[in-house]
């Protein structure tokens, strides 16, 4: 269905129809179907715009099944072309997501996967000239937040943002434990109205209005992790 001329709500309706048809209770949360610059709005749920050739489409949706929730995001090209800027940012988000998934391991502290995603994104944005400065300083000052302004993931289960202790009373991070399920969902969003902070570079028009997120649901096992949503493709062809 992802082609020019289709409305966001048509895709939402088809997806939610399939949720019910396959035995789910319905959406786990309001489905986000965001084309073009709507993808830069984190909780966009209007879903009333038409898909245009050359845009990206971001879908963040999941069903509730037997009271347990899924939470998946994929970003697809609309039509047959993808700009080099879209592809470069897509590949950077994917690289950050894969680096973060590697850090979902029993006994690694809960912040390790976010740190992995953040570092990958900052290194990539510096290479592209979208951020400027020493990588470690940029990480310390959380400069990724200009383009990646949310956490890398959350516990998932009976609630979409499930309960769980992240930090000990002494502020050290809790380690992952077998049986935990977390989302891993880094993103890059370059708002059409992006204004660089003092000392940071201006961003060319060709980068603006691109929003990309890739999200999987990951189970911590005794020996590592299992990506529960691995059947949903996330590597761009060609």
Does residue 55 bind Mn ion (CB under 5 A)? Answer: no
Does residue 75 bind Mn ion (CB under 5 A)? Answer: no
- Sequence-distant (≥ 6) Cβ neighbours of residue 86 within 8 angstroms: 56, 77, 210, 212
Is there a contact between 78 and 11 (Cβ–Cβ < 8 Å)?
A: no
What is the nearest approach in angstroms of Mn ion to the Cβ of residue 71?
4
Could you give the count of Cα atoms lying within 13 Å of 180 in the half-sphere of its Cβ?
28
Among 8, 37, 55, 71, binds Mn ion (CB under 5 A): 71
Closest by CA to 111, choosing from 176, 161, 198, is: 176
Does residue 217 bind Mn ion (CB under 5 A)? Answer: no
- In the bound state with Mn ion, the residue whose beta carbon lies nearer, of 120 and 152, is 152
169: tokens are 């009373």
- Sequence-distant (≥ 6) Cβ neighbours of residue 205 within 8 angstroms: none
Among 12, 47, 183, 229, binds Mn ion (CB under 5 A): 183
What is the nearest approach in angstroms of Mn ion to the Cβ of residue 186?
11
The count of other CB atoms within 10 Å of the CB of residue 90 is 22
- In the bound state with Mn ion, the residue whose beta carbon lies nearer, of 125 and 214, is 214
Stretch that binds Mn ion, among 11-19, 27-35, 116-124, 177-185 (CB under 5 A): 177-185
Does residue 37 bind Mn ion (CB under 5 A)? Answer: no
Give the binding site for Mn ion (CB under 5 A).
71, 183
């Amino acid at each position: 269905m992802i082609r020019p001329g289709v409305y966001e709500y048509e895709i939402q309706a088809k997806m939610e129809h399939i949720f019910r048809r396959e035995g789910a209770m319905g959406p786990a949360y309001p489905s986000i179907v965001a084309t073009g610059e709507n993808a830069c709005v984190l909780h966009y749920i209007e879903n009333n715009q038409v898909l245009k050739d050359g845009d990206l489409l971001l879908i963040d949706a999941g069903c509730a099944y037997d009271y347990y929730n899924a939470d998946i995001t994929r970003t697809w090209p609309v039509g047959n072309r993808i700009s080099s800027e879209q592809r470069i940012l897509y590949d950077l988000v994917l690289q950050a997501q894969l680096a973060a998934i590697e850090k979902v391991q029993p006994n690694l502290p809960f912040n390790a996967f976010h740190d992995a995603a953040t570092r990958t994104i900052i290194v990539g944005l510096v290479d592209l000239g979208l951020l400027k400065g020493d990588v470690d300083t940029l990480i310390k000052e959380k400069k990724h937040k200009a383009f990646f302004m949310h956490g890398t993931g959350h516990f998932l289960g009976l609630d979409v943002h499930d309960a769980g202790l992240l930090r000990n009373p002494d502020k050290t991070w809790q380690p992952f434990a077998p049986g935990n399920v977390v989302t891993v969902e880094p993103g890059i969003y370059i708002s059409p109205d992006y204004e660089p902070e003092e000392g940071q570079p201006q961003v060319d028009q060709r980068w603006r209005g691109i929003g990309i997120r890739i999200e999987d649901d990951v189970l911590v096992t005794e020996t590592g992790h299992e990506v529960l949503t691995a059947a949903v493709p996330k590597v761009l062809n060609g």
